[in-house]
Amino acid sequence: MPKSSSVALPTPLPLPVTTSSSAPTTPDAAKTLSASSPTMKMRLSHMLHNATHHNKSKGNGAELTWCFSQVKGSIEEDVAEADIISCVEFNSDGELLATGDKGGRVVIFQRDKASKNAVPSRGEYNVYSTFQSHEPEFDYLKSLEIEEKINKIRWLRQTNRNHFLLSTNDKTIKLWKVAERNKRPEGYNLKDEMGQQRNKSSITALRVPVFQPMELMVEASPKRVFANAHTYHINSISVNSDLETYLSADDLRINLWNLEITDQSFNIVDIKPANMEELTEVITAAEFHPKECNMFVYSSSKGSIRLCDMREQALCDKHAKIFEEPEDPTNRSFFSEIISSISDVKFSHSGRYMTTRDYLSVKVWDLNMESKPVETYQVHEYLRNKLCSLYENDCIFDKFECSWSGDDKHIMTGSYNNFFRMFERDNKRDCTLEACREITKPKTVLKPRKVSSGGKRKKDEISVDCLDFNKKILHTAWHPLENIVAIAATNNLYVFSSKD
């Protein structure tokens, strides 16, 4: 079990009130324009119409403009494998942002108070705590190396002054407690100030220990270790809304855990066939419903999503609903099954919708309609003609994640060449943005990028043949309350915030 790690901590707007110089001041005039009079009713109706129209035009017409906030990470071109970021996750209020890397480390950032209180507020984060979550291991029974890479991080909802998060590699899940300490006890009777045992014969008087102020320290300590429950690699963990249980999923099974019990879990999904030669699909992602503690979904490599209800039976091999879209025969090819594999599934904050990411597109599903998605967004359709070369360099197997905005009106996902895509659901608008170090000045507006798939290329476009497939945005996160996004680009963490 890793030791505790400590680091020192670095040092709704009110509604507008409209006043009018022509407002009545005398009692008679006020009586004449009372709330029950037709004149006041017409004025109130007119004000309400203007306010409603203004809000609608702002919500449906104004496109989000994104600005650079900060970037964390080294600028060296030779990137060590251990420094590549493998997951990004905001906590429930967005004040903390956690990243995990392939070296087994977890870095937690805390939002800077000055940037939060600025007008307009900005999304800037400082290092809060860094600790080694997982170490490389070796399974002697199977002669397999177990990587220390952090596959997923999930925050638990905060119930006291301490923070808790789950982190997992391929085999082991750990529950971490992150706590602040700004006082230390002094005046022990049996120990000196250095913690060494004192000679009992030298103790002549009884002292009452007291707490003395000290430099603020952040300590990360492991509270639980959940191990030995998965035969295959863990690809997902999800905390339940009951705050007592969570699920973990690998290629063929999903287990249900209690946060207080480490030596026992319940298998709630098992798709392993009796004969492994009959295996046709594997589990790729799983997540609990954000509000209904009995419901969860899991996606498969064949492009289907299954909704399960734990009230029906203990083993949810029979799903309550299955969401899948019939394949378009015109797009059928050798790569169809590979690119239809779902790499991520996320419930909307409301719980009404869920979004799925396959290789070329993002789809939004209504939980009340299984036959087809209600929305489909093409991420990089220009790569369809490049699938053969993407198969040869293994990029076709990349697993992209997707994120919902706090109001469920926008969806974000990644692409190649350090591009990431934003989709606005109301107006069906989309834009392509780039995470690069050429723009490192705060508040710099990001310019939309365009990719030319062939023919004559415009001045501000980039050719699809010039895309760098080694630079890929696989992991993204959206602040749960504000328009602030975190983008993991290889070993760098970019933070962008909306202009308004």
Confidence of residue 33 (pLDDT cuts 50, 70, 90): very low
Residue 186 has a pLDDT of: 78
Place 47 in a pLDDT band, splitting at 50, 70 and 90.
very low
Residue 24 lies in a domain: no
pLDDT of residue 410 exceeding 90, the answer is yes
Residue 18 resides in a domain: no
The pLDDT score that the predictor gives to residue 211 is: 82
Please provide the DSSP assignment of 258-289 as one string. Answer: ETT-SS-EEEEEE---SSGGG----EEEEEE-
The average pLDDT across 414-423 equals 96
Choose between 163 and 460: higher pLDDT: 163
> Which SS3 state, helix, strand or coil, does residue 383 take?
helix
Lowest-confidence range among 15-19, 222-226, 457-461, 479-483?
Answer: 15-19
Q: Is the CB of residue 283 less than 8 Å from the CB of residue 254? A: yes
Neighbours of 473 (CB within 10 A): 25
Between 13 and 454, where is the model more confident?
454
Q: What pLDDT was estimated at residue 134?
A: 96
Domain assignment present for 219: no
pLDDT at residue 48 tops 70: no
Strand arrangement of the beta sheet that strand 429-434 belongs to: 402-404, 410-414, 419-424, 429-434
**Predicted confidence (pLDDT) per residue in 481-498, tens digit:** 999 999 999 999 999 999
pLDDT grade for 274, boundaries at 50, 70 and 90: very high
1 vs 153, more confident: 153
Check residue 62 and give its pLDDT.
63
Asked, for residue 128, whether it belongs to a domain, the answer is: yes
CATH code for the domain of 118 = 2.130.10.10
Q: Is residue 55 part of a domain?
A: no
* Preceding amide of 185 cis, omega within 30: no
Residue 236: other Cβ atoms inside 10 A:
22
The more confident residue out of 52 and 113 is: 113
E runs forming strands in 353-474: 353-357, 361-366, 375-378, 402-404, 410-414, 419-424, 429-434, 450-452, 461-463
**13 within domain boundaries:** no
Query: What average pLDDT does the segment 85-104 reach?
Result: 96
Determine, yes or no, domain membership for 212: no
pLDDT at position 23 is 37
The Cα–Cα gap between 211 and 214 comes to: 9
pLDDT for residue 192: 74
82 part of a folded domain? yes
pLDDT of residue 303: 94
Strands 429-434 and 152-155, sheet pairing: unpaired
Beta strand pairing call for 173-186 and 410-414: unpaired
Tell me the mean pLDDT in the region 198-218: 80
Which of the given ranges, 103-112, 190-199, 318-327, has the highest pLDDT on average? 103-112
Whether the CB-CB separation of 159 and 208 falls below 8 Å is answered with: no
Position 249, amino acid? A
pLDDT tops 90 at residue 44: no
Q: Average the pLDDT over 149-170 and give the result.
A: 95
Does position 92 have pLDDT exceeding 50, yes or no?
yes
- This prediction has a pTM of 0.82
- How confident is residue 334, by pLDDT bands cut at 50, 70 and 90? confident
Residue 207 in this model has a pLDDT that exceeds 90: no
Closest CA to 318 of 306, 327, 330: 306
Give mean pLDDT, residues 282-295.
96
Mean pLDDT of the chain: 85
Give the pLDDT of residue 245.
97
Q: How many domains does the chain have?
A: 1
**Residue showing tokens 């301490």:** 162
Q: What is the pLDDT of residues 293-328, one digit of tens each?
A: 999 999 999 999 999 999 998 899 889 999 999 888
Which tens digit of pLDDT belongs to each residue from 423-444?
999 999 999 999 998 877 888 8
Q: What does the pLDDT read at residue 10? A: 42
CA–CA separation, 468 and 107 (whole Å):
27
Residue numbers of the domain that contains 394 = 69-178+226-498
Instruction: Give the model confidence (pLDDT) of 230-271 as tens digits.
Output: 999 999 999 999 999 999 999 999 999 999 999 999 999 999
Among 52, 91, 92, 97, CA closest to 70: 97
pLDDT class of 214 with cuts at 50, 70, 90:
confident
Confidence of residue 50 (pLDDT cuts 50, 70, 90): very low
